[in-house]
Amino acid sequence: MFGGEAADEPEYRVIEQDGDIEIREYAGFAVAKTTVMVPFDQAIGAGFRRLFDYISGGNQSEAKIEMTAPVLTEPKGEKIAMTAPVLAQPGNEMREVTASSLTPEGDESWTIAFVLPEGLTATSAPTPADPTVTLRDIPSRRVASIRFSGRFRNATAEMKRQFLADWLASRGLSHDGDWRIAGYNPPWTIPALRRNEVLVTLE
């Protein structure tokens, strides 16, 4: 309730910090993910339920998997390489995703991901029983992040994304355009004490 984090999170090392902004080096980890074609607020709940079913035994081994943090949310669609703006640019595979903001146009598709516990990989983790849940290994990489508190809202995340994009551009740092939102706390945590982040992979 008072801001405790949900669980362990992937290992990383802070390279640079400027207020709420950090440059981090992450070790590799694996995720379970699912894509839902509904608006952002609905996507969080729908995706979370699918993934929670998976770690609660909804897999071919009927194994329970420890809950970790963060829960990651990103738009389903093309990655956009650029030096300024985007975050979760929603879209679907039938049209090009624009890089102007996080405000969706047309159908929305969001990918929700749970980070799997350390030691599990896409091949060693239990196979999901639900075909809409897939596993993926994320390689080690350098990431820029900006932290914010409050409720997990797309509009708030977009403002933070713009600030981080401008910060990166001012330093000549290029990124992959794979903007995503990370939530670290249980839903019952007091909003003012929640840790949310916008993340992007650096080139």
Give the domain ranges of the chain. Answer: 12-201
CA distances from 109 to 31, 104, 201 (A): 18, 9, 20
The strand order across the sheet containing 133-138 reads 12-18, 21-26, 141-148, 196-201, 180-183, 71-75, 110-115, 29-36, 133-138
CA distances from 173 to 122, 169, 189, 197 (A): 31, 6, 34, 19
Q: Provide the pLDDT for residue 77.
A: 60
Region of residue 106 (phi > 0: left; psi between -120 and 50: alpha; otherwise: beta): left
List all residues 6 or more positions away from 119 whose beta carbon is below 8 Å from its beta carbon.
none
Q: Provide the pLDDT for residue 191.
A: 86
Assessment of whether the complete model's pTM goes beyond 0.75: yes
Per-residue pLDDT tens, the chain, 203 aa: give them: 455 554 689 999 999 999 999 999 999 999 999 999 988 888 888 999 999 999 999 999 999 999 999 999 998 764 433 222 223 333 333 222 233 334 444 457 899 999 999 999 999 999 999 999 999 999 999 999 999 999 877 788 999 999 999 999 999 999 999 999 999 988 788 888 889 999 999 99
- Cα-trace Rg, the chain: 16
Q: Provide the pLDDT for residue 85.
A: 28
Check: CB of residue 180 under 8 Å from CB of residue 144. no
What is the Cα–Cα distance from 86 to 78, expressed in whole angstroms?
A: 12
* CATH of region 12-201, choose from 3.40.50.150, 3.20.80.10, 2.102.10.10, 1.10.10.10: 3.20.80.10
What is the Cα–Cα distance from 147 to 19, expressed in whole angstroms?
A: 9
Q: Please count the other Cβ atoms lying within 10 Å of the Cβ belonging to residue 132.
A: 12
Q: For the chain, how many helices (H) and strands (E)?
A: 2, 9
